[in-house]
Amino acid sequence: MKLTLLFGGASFEHEISIVSAITLKEKLSGFDLQFIFCDQDHTFYLIEPSKMKAKTFSSGEHKKMPQLVLTQSGFEKKALFGAKQIKGTVLNLIHGADGEDGTIAALLDFYSIKYIGPRIDASVFSYDKRYTKYLCDAIGVKTLDYEVLRSSEHKNLQLSYPLIIKPARLGSSIGVSIVKEESELDYALDVAYEFDKSVIVEPFINGVKEYNLAGCMIGGKMVFSIVEEPQKNEFLDFEKKYMDFARSEQVLKAELSEELVKKLKANFEKIYKGLFEGALIRCDFFVIDNEVYLNEINPIPGSMANYLFEDFKGVIEKLAASLPQSKRPRVKYEYIHSISKAKGK
């Protein structure tokens, strides 16, 4: 299968995206893979597969590789005579800004390029944790209580300690801290404000049961991964999650009652249906008193959560064949013609 991995981006998670792409190169061996790197200045490069190593990018060696431009239905490499189009479905593997905020989705939609990844509306609701709360409220999925703080205003918190502080629009635990008492709050907020002017504050529940579930819609049916209970010390910090991306062995299935697995899947489906078609997403849930709460949606999970699927290659192949068709209205100028006719011109 022909597949183009698009990675990089102007994002705090730029480097994680590179790691994701390198991992997937191995996980999808056998596919006819191509690699397109978006650097932090938004230039696209076609990366030689044998050069898919972290050092290629940190050393700037990618700058010597062919630049690409977007054209209708594909990326194009300028050649001496004419241009060569890079064909094949794109897998959007840009984490964080650009990839998950709807920018790349909009670009690919605009240029009629087929892609695996969240569409614009799905990106909007999953990228900003505030909008994820609004979405869950609307579709009846429980989430933890929360408050929003902005760097430009001071507000007294109603929630009681311990708290967890998260930048509103980041994944991968970057800028996240746990605050046990008020004296630690100011610094934790400044840490989050370095990444986003808005932050979400939630109660921190020590030892809460956490479960991750990935999945996608293929041919109108939900396909789920196994349910994973992530390892955690106090919470998954950036480094731990980062290691997570490179993880290659399959994880152990969590020991759960069938009833709870059903509940997790039902909540996942509620979130996914009608919004995330075309994407393979991972939802992270909390379970408190046998009730399921959504923690966050990862519309482009690290390394596409490949370790949660028994047949990851098969899932990607089927998903690529089951992408939503975007309809573009055909303009026929009927209205203008009818007026012209009426005027007798």
Q: Closest distance between another protein and the C-beta of residue 175, in Å?
A: 8
Size of the site for another protein (CB under 8 A): 7
Under the criterion CB under 8 A, does residue 134 sit at the interface with another protein? no
Indicate the pairing of strand 89-92 with strand 115-116. Answer: parallel
What's the CA gap between 241 and 174, in Å, rounded? 10
Q: Closest distance between another protein and the C-beta of residue 54, in Å?
A: 19
Q: Closest distance between another protein and the C-beta of residue 132, in Å?
A: 24
Under the criterion CB under 8 A, does residue 182 sit at the interface with another protein? no
Under the criterion CB under 8 A, does residue 173 sit at the interface with another protein? no
> Among the candidate windows 68-76, 191-199, 219-227, 283-291, which touches another protein by CB under 8 A?
191-199
> Which tokens go with 211?
């479960």
Q: Pick one of 48, 184, 229, 317: the residue that binds another protein (CB under 8 A).
A: 184
Which is nearer to another protein, 148 or 321 (by Cβ)?
148
Q: Closest distance between another protein and the C-beta of residue 177, in Å?
A: 9
Angle value at C-alpha 56, between 51 and 60, nearest 5 degrees: 140
Site string for another protein, 232-271 (x = CB under 8 A): ----------------------------------------
What are the Cα distances from residue 48, in Å, to 34, 62, 99?
8, 9, 22
| E strand or H helix that includes residue 238 | helix 238-246
Q: Closest distance between another protein and the C-beta of residue 194, in Å?
A: 4
SS3 67: strand
Q: Closest distance between another protein and the C-beta of residue 129, in Å?
A: 19
> Which tokens go with 14?
């730029």
SS3 264: helix
Amino acid at 318: K
Under the criterion CB under 8 A, does residue 151 sit at the interface with another protein? yes
Starting at the earlier edge strand, list the strands of the sheet with 177-179.
Answer: 147-150, 198-203, 163-167, 177-179
Question: Phi/psi at 109 (nearest 5 deg)?
Answer: -60, -45
Query: Do residues 274 and 257 lie in contact, with contact meaning Cβ atoms separated by under 8 Å?
Result: no
Which is nearer to another protein, 60 or 220 (by Cβ)?
60
Q: Pick one of 32, 121, 145, 194: the residue that binds another protein (CB under 8 A).
A: 194
> Among the candidate windows 190-198, 215-223, 241-249, 332-340, which touches another protein by CB under 8 A?
190-198
Query: Do residues 94 and 5 lie in contact, with contact meaning Cβ atoms separated by under 8 Å?
Result: no
Q: Closest distance between another protein and the C-beta of residue 151, in Å?
A: 7
Which is nearer to another protein, 16 or 227 (by Cβ)?
16
What are the Cα distances from residue 335, in Å, to 168, 321, 328, 332?
45, 37, 18, 8
**Contacts for 45 with CB less than 8 Å, ≥ 6 apart:** 36, 37, 39, 62, 63, 65, 66, 67, 68
Q: Is the dihedral of CA 4, 221, 127, 172 positive or negative?
A: negative
Q: Closest distance between another protein and the C-beta of residue 186, in Å?
A: 8
Under the criterion CB under 8 A, does residue 178 sit at the interface with another protein? no
Under the criterion CB under 8 A, does residue 190 sit at the interface with another protein? yes
Site string for another protein, 83-112 (x = CB under 8 A): ------------------------------
What's the CA gap between 199 and 186, in Å, rounded? 13
Under the criterion CB under 8 A, does residue 75 sit at the interface with another protein? no
> Among the candidate windows 30-38, 60-68, 127-135, 185-193, which touches another protein by CB under 8 A?
185-193
> Which tokens go with 20?
């994701």
Q: Closest distance between another protein and the C-beta of residue 165, in Å?
A: 11
> Which tokens go with 273?
């249906």
Which chain residues interact with another protein by CB under 8 A?
A: 151, 184, 187, 190-191, 193-194
